[in-house]
Structure 1
Amino acid sequence: MNYKFYHSLYGNRYNDYMGVGIALPASMQLISTDFISIGDCLRSTMEPHEKQTGFFAWCHDLCEFILARCKKPTIDPWNVAICRNNTLICLQVIIDDKPLYIGTYHMPCLYSIPDTMIIHSSMVKDLMFQMAAGHPFILAGDFNFKPNEIPYRVITEKSYLNHVRLPNSNQYEVSYRPNGEQILKSAYCEKNGTEPNYTNFASTSQTPNFCATLDYIFFAGNLHVNKVLDLPDHPTGESYPDETHPSDHLMIAASFQLL
């Protein structure tokens, strides 16, 4: 079967020009392609705080300057979020005369700044719902969060953000408001009742013997999960990749019926 490959290499030399891509059968009817920088999309919803003037503003700035010298500087997760180049790819195709949207995304690996991952997760989810406009869609990728962590719950549990709000910004006025009523389902969780035991196994100096589920096939709308690819319960060997595993990530797969 012939395929066409739609990709975005948003990385640089430091990370081997990291990117994402979708291989689409050449025979499949393609309607549209979208490549969206999540950082740029977030930036469009943000304005720098208005600079105050006058004596009281001068006193405030002086106090802030003194405090900044005495305490560890804080990181604004929104500023980090808009500086990331990670790109969402979304293709609209026609299958059996029905529209379907297919997306992929690679979440920034920012475990030290989890709020930024929450912001990106919410925006990617909302953008897929916006572009699909009521039609079914699939969103797959390496999301770099575990099933029990907040970013996963933000996009899979209705109204979760009513209890865990997006962080504030100390530099910007943010107009983006997430839609907590629109949520995603996971193909593996829907079919098996739980996520896989792991999809990533790698041992490095910073994270020795790291083994966790980070990869997902999310979906929404009139789709039924027919089956998912069976995955092992436990890794073999000392670390992936190795002779039998070409990546530190396992391949995940699912087949759907478009209702």
Structure 2
Amino acid sequence: MTITLNDKIVWITGASGGIGEALAKTMAQEGAIVVLSARRHAELERVRLTLPNPDKHMTLPLDICIETAQEQALAAVLARYGKIDMLVNNAGISQRALIMDTTGETDRKIMEIDYFAQVALSRRVLSSMLKYNQGQLVFISSVAGLVGTQYRGSYSAAKAALHLWANSARAELYEQGIRVAVVFPGFVKTAVSMNALTGSGEALGKMDDAQANAMTATEFAVATVKALKAGKSYIVIGGFKEKLAALLGRFAPELLYKMIRKSKVR
């Protein structure tokens, strides 16, 4: 299967920087018409102006956790373009805290952003896609959602939940023309660790060593778009260790658990 992005309406959340910005640029270069969403309007406009033919793209400020804001945003996209061909659920927040140091409030905040809000928006967009019996959902999960590591208990749980919800949606909606892909990034050089929540719910405010030395967001985006165009639905993108961990999680979990216990993840 080969999928073209030319003239497709692609809505990307979390598009004001990092992975979302890189995906927007890469997809726009492939001919997609991109809808950029995040909370920071000025940053969305900055990204839009870097895209080819910026006037054909749309900035749409959105707090993804507010369901009425989701409804208004969806209505705005449909009013301008009439349809949505692809929704890229990229908005999210990470974690850097041991499970015994994490409050229940922080647990719920991570789950709200990384799981419940993504599912709610996807269901809304699906209501539009199903009218045309075509469309694609893309979820940016994480290798952490496949293997689970120290300091990311709630984050790993949310990303794993997103993965399995996507699996169910893929099975239920395939015959109705809906395709679902899940992307599992390893370490990518973005501000994700800067914004990651500590156990008390505050931003960590510093870059992890693994993050600082990781692949660039552009490298990640190019690999992701290549896999999506090839029709892949289970996409692991990272270095050797991350790909090995994802593979062991499926075929040799006991070995993986031993490796994780000895690994340095901060």
Report the TM-score, using the length of structure 2 for normalisation.
Answer: 0.37
Q: What TM-score does the superposition give when structure 1 sets the normalisation length?
A: 0.37
Q: Pick the structure with more helix per residue.
A: 2
Larger radius of gyration between Structure 1 and Structure 2: 1
